[in-house]
Amino acid sequence: MSSESFFWMGKPIPFRAGESVAAALEAAGILSFGPAPGGGPTRYFCGIGACQCCLVRIDGCVREACLTPACSGARVEELGAADAKV
């Protein structure tokens, strides 16, 4: 088990070197990443940056969780309500 972790909504999530944020969240049993701008939940879907279904806020910036390597200590959160109304 990895000793590195980032924080999802304040909860530590372990990850392996080179793993994406989305893969680590899924491995931790987190399948919904919060509300999507178009409605419904954000989630890990295509894994290649095409669908935009995995948008989350990482250290204050909106990012595709499937394309963003997990980084120790990062703060990862659901998009806010304002983001979901785009």
CB of 10 to ligand FES, least distance (A): 22
Our finding on whether 36 is near ligand FES (CB under 6 A) is: no
> Edge-to-edge, what's the strand order for the sheet holding 55-58?
11-14, 5-8, 75-77, 55-58, 61-64
**Least distance from C-beta 68 to ligand FES, angstroms?**
9
Chosen residue from 46, 62, 71, 86 binding ligand FES by CB under 6 A = 46
Query: What whole-number distance in Å separates Cα of residue 12 and Cα of residue 75?
Result: 9
The total number of residues written for the chain in this structure: 86
Where on the chain is the footprint of ligand FES (CB under 6 A)? 44-47, 49-54, 64, 66
